[in-house]
């Protein structure tokens, strides 16, 4: 993908502060972090979203995320962490190369990753399950 900034990072054409690399995945610091130490993990092969990724790339990427999350936690003072993946512009994805955010969390940091809760009416929860199950 010619215009993809994360492909350019993978190819070494633009700089990134890397923390991890293997044959299929790469981990680097987000330049505009939600908390300091916020990392991104991406497959080396371009895919737009989670659902476009091959199983091998997906497995390598999630295993890399686990390694990096552990290192974030240990390296930044037993921090907690949130794992976030934005898929599609409706979900806030800006860079169209699939990536997982690992955001370190600290006691009393100011970050809020919370949503308000809706309620299902009557049988609605089952109807939603059916809509989803049709495509499993």
Footprint on residues 93-122 left by Zn ion (CB under 5 A): 97
Footprint on residues 4-33 left by ligand AMP (CB under 6 A): 5, 16, 30-32
The DSSP H or E segment spanning 127 is helix 124-133
In the residue annotation, 99 being an active-site residue is answered as yes
> Which of the choices Zn ion, ligand AMP, none does residue 32 contact, using the CB cut-off of 5 to 8 A by kind?
ligand AMP
Of 76, 100, 105, 104, nearest in space to 26 by CA: 100
Tell me how many residues contact ligand AMP (CB under 6 A).
Answer: 11
Of 89, 74, 97, nearest in space to 16 by CA: 97
The DSSP H or E segment spanning 16 is none
> Which residues are known to be catalytic?
99
Could you list the residues that contact ligand AMP (CB under 6 A)?
Answer: 5, 16, 30-32, 40, 86, 92-95
């Amino acid at each position: 993908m010619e215009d993809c900034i994360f492909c350019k990072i993978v190819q070494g054409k633009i700089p990134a502060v890397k923390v991890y690399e293997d044959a299929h995945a790469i981990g680097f610091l987000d330049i505009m972090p939600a908390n300091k130490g916020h990392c991104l993990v991406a497959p080396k092969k371009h895919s737009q979203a989670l659902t476009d990724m091959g199983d091998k790339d997906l497995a390598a990427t999630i295993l890399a995320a686990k390694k990096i999350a552990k290192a974030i936690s240990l390296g930044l003072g037993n921090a907690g962490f949130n794992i976030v993946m934005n898929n599609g512009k409706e979900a806030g994805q800006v860079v169209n190369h699939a990536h997982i955010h690992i955001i370190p969390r600290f006691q009393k940091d100011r970050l809020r990753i919370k949503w308000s809760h809706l309620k299902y009416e009557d049988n609605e929860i089952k109807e939603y399950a059916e809509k989803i199950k049709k495509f499993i």
